[in-house]
Amino acid sequence: MSDTRSLAIGDTIGILGGGQLGRMLAQAAATLGLKTHIFCPDPASPAFDVAYTYTVAAYDDKDALEGFAKSCCAITYEFENVPGETATFLESQCVLRPGAKALEVSQDRLFEKEFLTSAGVAIAPFADIKNEADLQTALSRFGGKGVLKTRRFGYDGKGQVMIREASGAQGALAHLNNAPAVLEGLIAFDREVSVIVARDASGTCAAYELTENRHEHHILDTSTVPANASEDLRCKAKEMAVQIANKLNYVGVMGAEMFVVPAENGGEEQLLVNEIAPRVHNSGHWTQDACLCSQFEQHIRAVAGWKLGSCERHSDVVMQNLIGDQVNAYADILSEPNAKLHLYGKAEARPGRKMGHVNRTSPRA
């Protein structure tokens, strides 16, 4: 049965992780009259600037976690690598939304693929790779090509090797330090898209419109809405995301990344789910300025046990990430009439570091 407990105005939501996602969640919570308590080991966490209170401690510090749980009416997280033990402990002390199951599934690519298959959504062909022999067998199944990915701790293209020809397999496992891995078939996709879906404590779902994503050096560069996709494809993508959220008995906002695969023999384009993120997602930042209720507010509403808002979009929008020294363009962006700037308050603009983003809106076409 669903746990439908709900928070009262002024109650505190705990957030594990103090990055920009935690920061924007805390801002959304404040808008709804809720307080936030951020838990993060990094004393320079961007979310601390905007939270009611915070704790600097390691994720396995039981005493600190216990004190944190006591101060909160519900707890959530802004990253998927929350240690399993931490999630289980917090779940025994407080309401944890989304629950530990969503973490288990999304932390391990093999579990994730098995789960997605059981949820009935299409994904790339995959194989469990424990050693060189497994890799060779799987490669011959997938036409000698594939993407080898570590089961755990991969992100933004890290922890993966693209194998385009037989020679590319040499040293691939060693490159991943022989970590347990999966091989995926190499998908000749046309575009990358995502759906941000929210599910509340009573099981009601709401999904935002399909988003088209472009990456630079494996890091999200832009998200464009509306996406280049037929009405049918947009509906299918939303349905798939809802199917996944329901199967997980999920509470909160979840990102589902997908590939659009070209039509075969004049048929329709197909969607394959690449991965899910049990949290607010970078490809949903556009919702802040193109919708009445952003993904951050939706997540806070769901975690609080409140009703979801509308996912309706009132504007066309392109979200652009400001990575590393791209943030130095902030003064120019401020003078653009249709640009809404979001900066994360990070002191040092290191290469590859997400420093902020900008939403450029125009009236809905």
C-alpha Rg value of the chain to the nearest Å: 20
| Out of 62, 215, 307, 350, the residue judged to bind ligand AMP by CB under 6 A | 215
Closer of 61 and 104 to ligand AMP (Cβ)? 104
Query: Which is nearest to 23 in space by CA: 254, 288, 263, 202?
Result: 288
Cis bond upstream, residue 98 (ω within 30):
yes
| Out of 147, 240, 311, 333, the residue judged to bind ligand AMP by CB under 6 A | 147
Q: Which residues of 180-197 are buried (b: 16+ CB within 10 A; e: fewer)?
A: ebbbbbbbebebbbbbbb
Q: Are 73 and 145 in contact, with CB atoms under 8 Å apart?
A: no
| Out of 55, 106, 274, 295, the residue judged to bind ligand AMP by CB under 6 A | 274
Does residue 218 touch ligand AMP according to CB under 6 A? yes
Contacts of 178 (CB under 8 A, 6+ apart): none
Cis bond upstream, residue 226 (ω within 30):
yes
Smallest separation, CB 318 to ligand AMP (Å): 18
Smallest separation, CB 117 to ligand AMP (Å): 15
Does residue 154 touch ligand AMP according to CB under 6 A? yes
Does residue 275 touch ligand AMP according to CB under 6 A? yes
Binding letters toward ligand AMP, positions 288-327, x by CB under 6 A: ----------------------------------------
Closer of 133 and 188 to ligand AMP (Cβ)? 188
Among 32-40, 181-189, 229-237, 337-345, which window interacts with ligand AMP (CB under 6 A)? 181-189
- By CB under 6 A, the residues from 185 to 204 that bind ligand AMP are 186-187, 192
Smallest separation, CB 275 to ligand AMP (Å): 5
Distance CA 294, CA 315 (A): 13
Does residue 110 touch ligand AMP according to CB under 6 A? no
Q: Identify each DSSP E strand in 217-345 by its residue range.
A: 219-225, 252-261, 270-277, 315-323, 339-343
Binding letters toward ligand AMP, positions 69-88, x by CB under 6 A: --------------------
Smallest separation, CB 232 to ligand AMP (Å): 23
| Out of 33, 84, 120, 157, the residue judged to bind ligand AMP by CB under 6 A | 157
Does residue 129 touch ligand AMP according to CB under 6 A? no
Distance CA 176, CA 172 (A): 7
**239 burial via Cβ count (<10 Å: 0-12, 13-18, 19+):** middle
Smallest separation, CB 85 to ligand AMP (Å): 25
113 HSE (CA, 13 A, CB side): 19
Smallest separation, CB 350 to ligand AMP (Å): 20
> What is the bridge-based pairing of β-strands 35-39 and 53-55?
parallel
| Residues of the shown chain interacting with ligand AMP in the complex, contacts defined by CB under 6 A | 124, 147, 154, 157, 184, 186-187, 192, 215, 218, 274-275
